[in-house]
Chains A and B, each alone.
Chain A
Amino acid sequence: MIGETKFSKLRELIADSSEKDLIWMNGYLAGLISAKVQEEPAQKSSSIQKLTIVFGTDTGNSKKMATSFAQRLKKNGVQVKLQGLDQYRLSDLIKEEYFLGVIATHGDGEPPAAAKKFYEYIHANSLSLTNLKYAVLALGDTAYPLFCKAGEDVDSRLKTLGGTQLLPVEKCDTDFEDAANVWLENVLKTLSSSSTESRIVPTPSKKTSGKKTYEGTILSNVNLNGRGSAKQTHHIELSAEGVNYEPGDSLGVVPHNPAEAVESILSTLRINGTKKFTYRSEEFSLSDLLRKKLNVTYLPERVVNKYASIVQQEIPSIRMDLLNLVKIYPVKDETQFEEVVEILDPITPRLYSIASSLAAHENEVHLTVVKNCFTVNNEVLQGLCSHYLANLPADSSFDFYIHKNSEFKLPAADKDIIMIGPGTGIAPFRAFIEERNVTGASGRNWLFYGDQHFESDFLYQTEIQNYLQLGTLTHVDVAFSRDQAEKIYVQHKILKQGEEFFNWLESGAHIYVCGAKSPMSDDVENALMQVIEKFGNKNAEQAQSYLNQLKEEGRYQKDVY
């Protein structure tokens, strides 16, 4: 610990600081520490010769971190094997000695798609990993209820299988870089036999979120779909002073629950909305809590189960809205509802691919948000966040943060790009095209776009027409699925343009796919395979390795959801 004098000064400073100040200081100190650590002469880690670093990523953050670890270790003379978990040979695991995992968490505690095979493999098999000395860096987002769950699961499973934990699992929020670097130094210290220093820099068990938030003010909010469309896709323009992002990045936002839903819950509970409640050691009025903090719709089974045990009633283990729970299985009194509040998850943030380029719109962020509706048990449910955003009027504001996506980035200015983005998949490509238009990038740009109807659903039609006229867009191919008897999608257009498409690939073009993961991105990938087979004169296996090669070179990038 630090001395009494220093500590009292620190407390004074803390008492005098706003939350924002503290967040800043936190980041500053972390940065300072990691910079100092890096300045220290390289550790003599004579005891380690070889080490494996694996990463499980969807957005590229884990890969980025793992890569920087690998570079640092190589400088220290360690032989590093760096691999994505989707590429990792599972049978190698029992042979590993030193093993570092950087694992992201998605959705409700899920591992990223790329780590799924590994995750299932270690859980399904009783391996003996007694040689394994490992440490897991878990990346996540504190805004999600099951924060860093996938990383934690991997860590505890490896332990169960006999592995030796070098360090407890380190859980990082979206501002992971500083904490991750500190963690690596600690790992290195632990590994280094020559290290006399036994002290480990403590990491706080409860993290305060240090991600930079911006206040966005709605400049305009327009439904892009014309009359008669089945869709409502909003183009939302925000102004946000000092905002910084690159084409391909996303915006994260925590939506509010609809006021009417909150009203209904309050009136069912018969508790005054101004009544104060504590949630995760912070105090809120109940209406604020229900409106802005707690997820009240479509609660997961595990929350429903906890609710059942609080109210001591038999409730089927199915997803339900809080309103229905309090209506059908009422709480006894206010005190009991206090318990219920504790078990509710926070509203999780949603990510939207940014549809603008800062170079074209300084201090602005544009979004393309389709109002989601989905049917569960014959009931039409509205997507919380898309409805929240789409209904925001001009001049209203909300907080957001930028979510970097290093796996979806424009190549060098002279490279050609092919963008495949039906529906709201167009969003990052609007950013790409704007960026390349403003910067005068010399590479050619080919856009594949599709939706249901030409008349009403051609998002950004006039802009696309203008870019084509300007020459910023070299080709545009569109597919409108419901304007004719047979359904036509982007993959059909790719096949139709197969020869030219392959010529672009051969001359070094980068392919980008954005939009629905399934079936769109699968169908597109199939089409790519067919094009490569047919026009590259290859068999299926050769085509697959051609495509793998593209992936490895970063020339085939996807942002699918």
Chain B
Amino acid sequence: MSTNLSIEKPIEKNLSPVEKIKKESRGLRGSIVTGLAEEITGAISEDDQAVIKFHGMYQQDDRDQRDERAEKKLDRLYSFMIRLRLPGGFLTPQQWIATHEIAGKNSTGVIKITSRQTIQLHGLIKSRIKPTIQAFNASKLDSIATCGDINRNVLCSSHPKQSPIHKEVFAYADKISTLLMPKTKAYYEIWLDNEKLVDKSEEVDPLYEDRYLPRKFKIAIAIPPNNDVDVFGNDIGLIAIIENKKLLGFNIAIGGGLSTTHGNKNTYARLATVIGFCDSEEKVLKAVYEIVTIQRDFGNRSDRKLARLKYTLDKVGVDWFKQELKNRTGFALEEPRPYQFTSRTDYFGWHADDGGLMHYTMFVENGRVTDDENVKLKSALLEVAKTGKANFRFTCNQNVILADIKSENKKIIESILTQFGVIQSNESASALRKNSMACVALNTCPLALAEGQRYLPQLISKIEPLLKKHSLENDEIIIRMTGCPNGCARPYIAEIGLVGTAYGRYNLHFGGDRVGERLNKIFKENLDEESILFELNGWLGRYKSERKTGETFGDFALREIKFN
């Protein structure tokens, strides 16, 4: 491998406005405290909106009510979304009870399980942020760095039955999260009323310095053969290599990222490239850390649309990147080890792990935990938590696993779930619905161009008769929808992807594989519902009659369709 590759660190000119805000934020403090005290608006200043992301919050407003409120001379209905830092997506039953109560008191009441294995609450008005964070803190939960230009929540394959060493792998999520935490004490100072530091040297941050990363940074850990975390959609993907029930180490993949911008040809979705293997924990953590520092130093800080690691990697090339990484870590990565993914779905229903503990995975449509007329899911989960007999694990498909249940307690849990209609609704949901995912989109996401989670369930109800017509009800086709091209629900690696372009209009993507190792492609643009259903009817029919043995819908579509 050549060692003369020399790439200059980019000269910092034409920095994007966010760069200035980060640098001048006094350790992510900004003027948040002043903004919170401002009583005549529910908003905080624009600069602080960038800063508060690093504390795990987004300012949003109810877009459904914008026009109506303007006429009423009322300001936009601002509120905040808060997202927890839950490495690997785990809560104790006590923590779930606390979350349930906090959600009821301070937010819309809906607990939203995200596509990144954590939970978020919506609709917190400004004055409720502090009580919310304080209550979470009392349950040892925080929201540090779950948004913003920084390492976000770290994912890990969720199901304990995945491997006897699930626990060992799972621990990495927490270690990586801790390793990449910012050093500023702003969070504690602003939200938890901790005393202000006199000696700021404690806050010196060798990793993030005062500029943090050029853009968001995502890390996931997958345990083959299930790619439930969509490991290749992350800036860093770690693939556990296990032999004879022993963890040998991890393959490291870098440069995944799904967000694109409509009409910007320089943006693209990219799957991560596997660049090597690391055996010890020390080396894995070191490699992860230095991949982040390379991105910190070489990422694009003038155009935020081109700032993710995937663009950096394509700019400098894989070879140079590996060399630079070696320079920084002091060791070279080994050749990647073989692995195989065979699925990407959650293990619905009851499953036992190697140790004999039971786990029940339930389908949560779009991750929204709430009570509706048919299923009292939120009440059910509260009752389960109150027994203290199950932990809560969240999957990257926005579902819940009631986990680590002793076999003698299975009956109690099951009877609660039956009592609130959860088991019945899980059993009646189609395979397509269970493998569907949509982002939040309207009415709160400021980026949304079209509906997401409010609309996909209805659309699926219209697709289900088509599946029935073609006898495909049990085919686990993966369908995902987002309200904009940023890809939060990872539509670019679905077999059927729907990416919002305008209200009621979607680009229809076909051709992703079932395990998340291949991007799909745009089949047709700007379709309305009628056209979407027309296309699906035709292609599902052809798939049923013309597919090869064992062929998935995504593979069939790729083989049959001539994409532009």
Contacts and interface: CB of A to CB of B under 8 A. Distances in A.
Interface of A: 222-227, 235, 454-456, 458-465, 468, 476-478, 483-484
A461 B71 contact: no
Contacts of A227: 65, 68
Contact of A224 (B41, B42, B72): B72
Nearest to B79: A455
B8 interface: no
B195 interface: no
Contact of A477 (B39, B70, B71): B39
A489 to B, nearest CB: 14
Given A455-B77, A476-B40, A484-B127, A462 B65 contact: no
B242 interface: no
B31 to A, nearest CB: 17
B75 A465 contact: yes
B132 to A, nearest CB: 14
List 8 A-B pairs, minimum CB-CB distance, nearest first: A462-B73, A461-B75, A478-B39, A224-B72, A461-B74, A226-B74, A460-B73, A476-B40
B125 interface: yes
Nearest to A224: B72
Contacts of A461: 40, 73-75
Contacts, number: 50
A462 B77 contact: no
A459 B40 CA distance: 11
Contact of A458 (B65, B71, B74, B125): B74
A462 B127 contact: no
Given A226-B65, A227-B65, A483-B127, A235 B73 contact: yes
A483 B125 CA distance: 10
Given A226-B65, A483-B127, A484-B127, A455 B73 contact: no
Contacts of A456: 74
A462 B73 CA distance: 5
Q: Which of B40, B42, B71, B75 has the most CB of A within 10 A?
A: B40
A495 to B, nearest CB: 16
A531 B74 CA distance: 32
B127 A224 contact: no
Given A455-B77, A461-B40, A478-B40, A226 B127 contact: no
23 contacts: A222-B72, A224-B72, A224-B73, A225-B72, A226-B68, A226-B74, A226-B77, A235-B73, A454-B42, A454-B125, A455-B125, A459-B73, A460-B73, A461-B73, A462-B70, A462-B74, A462-B75, A464-B40, A465-B40, A468-B40, A476-B39, A477-B39, A478-B40
B125 to A, nearest CB: 7
A51 to B, nearest CB: 52
Nearest to B71: A222
Nearest to B72: A224
A478 B42 CA distance: 13
Contacts of B65: 226-227
Contacts of A484: 127
Interface in B443-477: none
B69 interface: yes
A72 B42 CA distance: 57
Given A462-B74, A468-B40, 20 more contacts: A222-B71, A224-B73, A226-B68, A226-B69, A226-B74, A235-B73, A454-B125, A455-B42, A455-B77, A455-B125, A458-B74, A458-B75, A461-B40, A461-B73, A462-B73, A464-B40, A465-B40, A476-B39, A476-B40, A484-B127
Q: Which of A223, A463, A465 has the most CB of B within 10 A?
A: A465
Contacts of A465: 40-41, 75
A224 B74 CA distance: 7
Q: Which of B74, B75, B125, B127 has the most CB of A within 10 A?
A: B74
A235 B71 CA distance: 10
B101 to A, nearest CB: 15
Contacts of B42: 454-455
A218 to B, nearest CB: 15
Interface string B23-61: 000000000000000011110000000000000000000
B564 to A, nearest CB: 45
Nearest to B41: A465
A481 to B, nearest CB: 13
Q: Which of A222, A227, A464 has the most CB of B within 10 A?
A: A227
Contacts of A222: 71-73
A463 B73 contact: yes
A502 B41 CA distance: 26
A463 B40 CA distance: 11
Nearest to A460: B73
A452 to B, nearest CB: 14
A392 to B, nearest CB: 17
A468 B40 CA distance: 10
Contacts of B39: 454, 476-478
Nearest to A455: B77
Contacts of A226: 65, 68-69, 72, 74, 77
Q: Which of B41, B68, B77 has the most CB of A within 10 A?
A: B41
A476 B70 CA distance: 20
B204 to A, nearest CB: 39
Contacts of B69: 226
A416 B41 CA distance: 25
Nearest to A223: B72
Contacts of B73: 222, 224, 235, 459-463
B107 to A, nearest CB: 13
Contacts of A478: 39-40
